[in-house]
Structure 1
Amino acid sequence: MKVLEVLEKSITVFCIVSFGGSVLPALLTGGGSTDPDAPGAVFWFMAVYVLILALIASRPRLAFRIPTGSPALSLVVVLAFVSALWSIYPDVTLRRSIAFLFTTAFGIYLALRYSFPEIMRLLVTGLSILMLLSFAAVFAMPDVGLDHEQHVGAWKGVFWQKNVTGRMMVWLVLCLLWLDWQREGKRWLLRPLLALALLLIVMSRSGTGLVTSFLVAGLLFSSSLVRGSIRSFAPTFAFLLLLAVVGLTSGTTFWHDILYGLGRDPTLTGRTVLWEHTLMSIQDRFVLGWGYAAYWYGAYGPGSAFTQGWGINSAHNGWIEAWLDLGLAGVALVIFLLGRMLFQGFAAIRYSTNKAEPAWIFTVGCALLLISISESVFLERHSLNWIVLVVGVTRLVQRRRWARLQARMQAQAARPAFASSSPYGTSYGAPPAAAWTGSRRPS
């Protein structure tokens, strides 16, 4: 039994590493470090899909819960497949929707299968492997580990681009901080890993990653301030609101200086030109979008001027990308999912007995909101950005369902039992508490 559990966790970590946005699938299959769609990488992820199916099939009870783990997530996946009906490249949309399905299913599996500390440890293990390989690539394979194009000398490690390095290290930092905060790991191991992750963010010159790292640290450790009576919470809320107003005012007034301080030009490295083009494309297909993952495909598609000339294959904005893929309905679903992480997560921090898990989920929501301004982090296939969102949303749904189940149990336990006059002698009343324990409680 222990051997099977170790094997299951090892496969889970392998999937996390595969979805980490690294060049490893292409590099290890002979495709080099410049083509993410190399044939070898395609076969790599097909093998990953088989492993995910094996993980799910090994837990039959869990397999039936995955489609209902979060109805909104299931609806997003269905919408991706349906968008093939109006996609400019239906075959591409169908193929990439399958990848999106397995990415989402893996996130739901992760949320339902393991306890929250176990999820954190698995994410830390997978991301730490990528981080250590990145340091090795910088010194042993500089052709792979260093940026030689736009940001010459920036460390990107085994990731496709330096900003991907920054984003993955943000999730590693957040998971390490949570484990250290809750004393769920050995500090002599967690803190050196944390220092290495921050060092890699600095050396990657990812301004967004650095700012987001400080944000997640501050939000995670300040979560205890929102608890207590309204009298104690009101000054804290007023202070946080003041900080938000000052930050927003400073950002709009000194945005040129802030951008230059982060190593960015006023066009955000050409993003404003890209956004102008994609916003015009949104107007052409405002309601339905261009089909899931179809906009940037092909040499003659609507985004070909950027894919061919600039080597860009995303809008570098989460909201614009979602609108290009799935139209107004896709954006609405993303708003609902992210809103659940922010508002339900915040409410759970304030009112639930266990604030640690919702604190992480709320912090992830804030990080995604910040990163989505300059990067496409929603509705991504083969991406840990989407997986951490899926894990957060699914865990919140399960917490609410468990709270409702407990409320029903308490109501039935309080209701007086009475004997029926049925000739069969059936007794109606509250079932024993033991009947509700065990497999009914989400892991």
Structure 2
Amino acid sequence: MKNQSFLGLAIYLEIFLTGLLLFYFVSPSFFPYALAKLFDVFSYLIVALLILLHWKKFIYVATTDITILLLLGMIATSGLWSVLPDITSITTKAMLRTILFGMYLATRYSIKEQMRLLAWVFGIVAILSLILPLVLPGFGVYSNGTWRGIFPYKNYLAIHMILAAMLFLLAALDSRRLNWIAWVEFAIATTLIFLSQGKGGYVIFVASLCLLPLHKFVKQNYKLRSVLLTGALIISCVVAFLILINEKTILVNILGKDTTFNGRVPIWTLCIEQALKRPWFGYGISGFWGSNESIVILRTTWAKNSLSIDNFQLFNSHNSYIEVLLQLGFVGLFIYIINFLSTLSRIIFLWMSNPITENFWMFQTIIIMFLFNFTDNGGIISRGTIWIVYISIALSSAISIRRIRRSRHLKSFISHDLLGST
């Protein structure tokens, strides 16, 4: 009895530490500086301890997707070609920690358990981001009334609340008990999306809602599903065409942005020009911003008005794909693209084969991340929760595919054995 009680306590402690790490990686800036520094140091020890508890299975899971291992290897060795090796060595440790933690999540928790764990974390984040600005004047709100909650930037609030809203909406539609809690959390997350006033967030939120009917289509029989999905594809192409030919009207009149995406296009153009100077392996992790090559961007774009000289290292291209190109070159970007496409194909196969909520959530989540990565940094090779969730989904889908193949191979072997015996 005592052993069972101790085991149960250990499991709860492990879940608590996992949730605490996820909460910390969502927004480290929420914590007081001294506490954040202390927890940042101990987080390496916690991640190592969690991995050691399941080290045999962890090794198996980590090797289910070779492209993630290749990315991990490039990040670990980028200091060899970095233009700022000292800064690279510091940042590399943090990025390796997030990748390993994402691997641990896929090792320890099923997709359904990951969804439940993220729902708790995002639920707490949503409540804090709504309540704290109301009770603490000036907290989490810009002078123009735009909300950022417990996050350092409004776009980070928006993307996390989009992920949260989709989790709670799926839970509300799927659950028969206590679904009112999920609806309340969905309402809070949706409110925060609009309070953030992130126009890109609005687009991603609407796009993620538009994916919901696809889940209904996939549940139909094969012939009807084919017709519905073909129709959805045609409609999507027509809508995309209409958006393309009315780009200026949508950007300026509807979303309130200019045709340069609020100054992002000039930054992207200059970043690509600088990336082509070191095209194969880039400038190393965190090697570009702060280097001499970044000065032309920092002094000729809106960065000069928003950052002091001491904080130029904190700037980014506001595009995760360009950041990968700057840090790891075309080799790193190519590896990531291969990983994304293979992950997407696995998830679609799983979803089509077994149209359950968990498989649809994986599909919806990486589509949300795919769109977010075009307009901001933090979704690829970062120290945040979004990258952790992506790694976990990629590996979880790879594990599921292996199980299906093993099951089919076993059935084929048994069938062959039975035929042979007769």
Q: Please, what TM-score do these two structures have when normalized by structure 1?
A: 0.85
Q: Distance in 2 between matches of 1:47 and 1:378?
A: 24
Q: 1:20 aligns with which of 26, 37, 42?
A: 26
Q: 1:273 aligns with which of 260, 266, 269?
A: 266
Q: Which residue of 1 aligns with 2:154?
A: 162
Match of 2:328 in 1: 326
Give CA-to-partner distance per residue, 1:155-180, whole Å, 9 cap, x none.
Answer: 11110110010011111112212323
Return the alpha-carbon distance in structure 1 between the equivalents of residues 64 and 382 of structure 2.
Answer: 19
Residue of structure 1 equivalent to 2:41 = 46
Partner of 1:199: 191
Partners of 1:169 and 1:209 within 8 A in 2: no
Amino acid at match of 2:27: G
Query: Is residue 147–residue 155 contact of structure 1 (8 Å, CA) maintained in 2?
Result: yes
In 2 relative to 1, CA 180–340 (structure 1 residues): closer, same or farther, beyond 3 Å?
Answer: farther
Is 1:258 aligned with 2:250? yes
Amino acid at match of 1:223: H
Equivalent residue letter for 2:165:
V
1:234 aligns with 2:226: yes
The answer for the alignment partner of 1:288 in structure 2 is 281
Q: Give the drift of 1:414.
A: 2.4
String of CA shifts for 1:215-263, please: whole Å, max 9, x gaps.
2233144223135555323322332222222222222222222223223
Unaligned runs of 5+ in 2: 1-6, 308-313
Conserved in 2, the CA contact under 8 Å of 1:316 and 1:375?
yes
Bigger mean CA deviation after superposition, 307-316 or 255-264: 307-316
> How far apart, in 1, do the equivalents of 2:213 and 2:119 lie?
19
Q: Structure 1 or 2: larger helix share? A: 2
Contact 1:278-1:315 at 8 Å conserved across structures: yes
Conserved? CA contact 1:120–1:179, under 8 Å? no
Deviation at 1:267, TM superposition (A): 2.0
- Residue number among 60, 67, 70 corresponding to 2:62 in the alignment: 67
Change (3 A) 1:263 1:48: farther
> Which residue of 2 is the match for residue 247 of structure 1?
239
Counterpart-to-counterpart distance in 1, 2:379 and 2:338:
12
Of residues 67, 92, 98, the one that matches 2:87 is 92
SS of the residue aligned with 1:88?
coil
**Residue identity (%):** 23
> Whole-Å Cα distance in 1 between the matches of residues 241 and 284 of structure 2?
38
Give 1:113 shift.
0.7
Q: Does residue 6 in structure 1 map to residue 12 in structure 2?
A: yes
1:294-330 CA-partner distances (Å, limit 9, x unpaired) = 2123688555536655336111112111111111111
Partner secondary structure for residue 375 of structure 2: coil
Could you tell me how far apart the structure 2 residues matched to 1:299 and 1:324 are?
Answer: 14
SS at 1:99 equivalent: helix
Aligned amino acid, residue 263 of structure 1: G
User: Are positions 1:171 and 2:166 aligned together?
Assistant: no
Question: Within 5 A, what are the aligned runs for 1:35-434?
Answer: 41-148=36-143, 152-183=144-175, 186-228=178-220, 231-260=223-252, 261-297=254-290, 301-302=294-295, 304-305=298-299, 309-311=305-307, 313-350=315-352, 352-416=353-417
- 8 Å CA contact 1:176–1:190 kept in 2: the answer is yes
Q: How many residues align?
A: 405
1:77–1:97 contact (8 Å) kept in structure 2: no
Which has the higher mean CA deviation after the structures are superposed, 299-308 or 219-228?
A: 299-308
Indicate the residue corresponding to 1:33 in structure 2: none
> Of the two structures, which has the highest relative contact order with CA contacts closer than 8 Å and spacing of 6 or more?
2
Pick closer, same or farther for the CA change 1:145–1:68 going to 2, 3 Å.
Answer: same
User: Which one is further off, 9-18 or 311-320?
Assistant: 311-320
The question of whether the paired residues in 2 share the 8 Å contact of 1:77 and 1:101 is answered with yes
Distance 2:231 2:156 in 1: 33
Gaps of 5+ in 1: 31-39, 419-428, 430-443
Equivalent residue of 1:48, what SS? helix
User: In angstroms, what is the RMSD of aligned CA positions?
Assistant: 2.4
Name the residue aligned to 1:29. 33
How far off its partner does 1:398 sit? 0.2
Q: How much has 1:372 moved relative to structure 2?
A: 1.7
CA separation in 1, counterparts of 2:130 and 2:276?
Answer: 44
Q: For 1:88-120, what per-residue CA distance to the aligned partner results, in whole angstroms no more than 9, with x for missing partners?
A: 111222221111111011111112211222111
- More displaced, 389-398 or 172-181? 172-181
